[in-house]
């Protein structure tokens, strides 16, 4: 049996391009499902904190954050937000920056590792990003994270214990160390089969092409070697 393509994705739930990249990846892979020999793909999300120094409760909107903490002029920040909102809409994502609550994301990353242990990581990644960018939920607070975990099919008590104990913090740091080893300094970043790196929120068609190309490599590698006559 041919091994699945492994796609490791470094992202931050507070990264607008990461959610766009996630949706484009899903659409790109879905397009391969009609192939006669459709690729088998395993997607795993890894932690990357864009702004680890962000307070849990930031007083201000996204423009305030970009101008005060990133040194970006407010007019430029507002233009950036408008642009990414437009691109998100093209991916059928409806960002609500008027509701968004900027916060520290380390606990959300810890919860994603807990969800991975429980086999629900993809469901939680989607729930967290949707909650952050389209619903204005506060993802820096344990109670809110636990509610979102239950939405993704996880046990509330177990999720709360995972957050309280901080037992997945080392996994978050290990992901960040691996990102540094790969030279990743921006997200989203996709590593395919540990060999190919793809940076940024590529169009869905690009992911379709990549999946087909790498799957053809897998199929070629799995062909039996002919016995000599």
Q: Could you read off the pLDDT of 155-207 as tens digits, one per residue?
A: 999 999 999 999 999 999 999 999 999 999 999 999 999 999 999 999 999 99
- Tell me, yes or no, whether 109 lies in a domain: yes
Calculate mean pLDDT across residues 48-57. Answer: 94
| Range 109-137 average pLDDT | 98
- Mean pLDDT value across residues 65-77: 88
Q: What is the mean pLDDT of residues 59-68?
A: 88
pLDDT of 221 reads: 77
Find the Cα–Cα–Cα–Cα dihedral 208, 212, 213, 214, rounded to 10°: 100
Choose among 135, 114, 112: nearest CA to 124: 112
The mean pLDDT value of the chain amounts to 94
Helices (H) and strands (E) in the chain, counts: 9, 4
Asked if 174 contacts 167 with a C-beta cutoff of 8 angstroms, the reply is: no
pLDDT of 223 over the 70 cut: no
Beta bridge partners of 174: none
Is a pLDDT exceeding 70 seen at residue 225?
A: no
CB contact at 8 A, 214 and 5: yes
Residue 2 pLDDT class (50, 70, 90 cuts): confident
In a domain, 73, yes or no: no
**Structural domain includes residue 227:** no
Confidence of residue 226 (pLDDT cuts 50, 70, 90): very low
Tell me, yes or no, whether 192 lies in a domain.
Answer: yes
| pLDDT band of 122, cuts 50, 70, 90 | very high
- Strand ordering across the sheet containing 196-199: 41-47, 5-11, 189-192, 196-199
- The CATH number covering residue 190 comes to 3.40.30.10
Look at residue 125 and tell me if it is in a domain: yes
DSSP β-ladder status, 189-192 and 41-47: unpaired
* pLDDT higher than 80, residue 88: yes
Counting the structural domains of the chain, the total is 1
Q: Does position 58 have pLDDT exceeding 60, yes or no?
A: yes
With cut-offs at 50, 70 and 90, classify the pLDDT of residue 67: confident
Mean per-residue pLDDT for 6-20? 98
Domain span at 116: 5-50+105-222
């Amino acid at each position: 049996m041919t091994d699945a393509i492994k796609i490791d994705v470094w992202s931050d739930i507070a990264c607008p391009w990461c959610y766009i990249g996630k949706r484009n990846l899903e659409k790109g892979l879905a397009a391969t499902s009609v192939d006669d020999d459709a690729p088998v793909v395993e997607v795993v999300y890894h932690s990357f904190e864009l702004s680890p120094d962000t307070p849990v409760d930031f007083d201000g909107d996204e423009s305030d954050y970009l101008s005060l903490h990133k040194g970006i002029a407010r007019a430029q920040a507002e233009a950036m937000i408008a642009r990414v909102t437009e691109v998100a809409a093209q991916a059928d994502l409806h960002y609500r920056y008027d509701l968004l609550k900027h916060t520290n994301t380390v606990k959300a990353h810890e919860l994603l590792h807990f969800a991975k242990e429980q086999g629900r990581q993809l469901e939680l990644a989607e729930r967290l990003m949707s909650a952050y960018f389209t619903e204005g939920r506060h993802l820096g607070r344990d109670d809110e994270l636990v509610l979102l975990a239950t939405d993704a099919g996880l046990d509330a008590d177990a999720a709360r214990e995972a957050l309280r104990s901080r037992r997945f913090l080392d996994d978050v740091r290990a992901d960040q160390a691996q990102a540094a080893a790969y030279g990743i300094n921006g997200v989203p970043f996709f590593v395919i089969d540990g060999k190919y790196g793809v940076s940024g929120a590529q169009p869905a068609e690009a992911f379709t092409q990549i999946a087909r190309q790498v799957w053809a490599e897998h199929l070629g590698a799995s062909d039996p070697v002919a016995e000599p006559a």
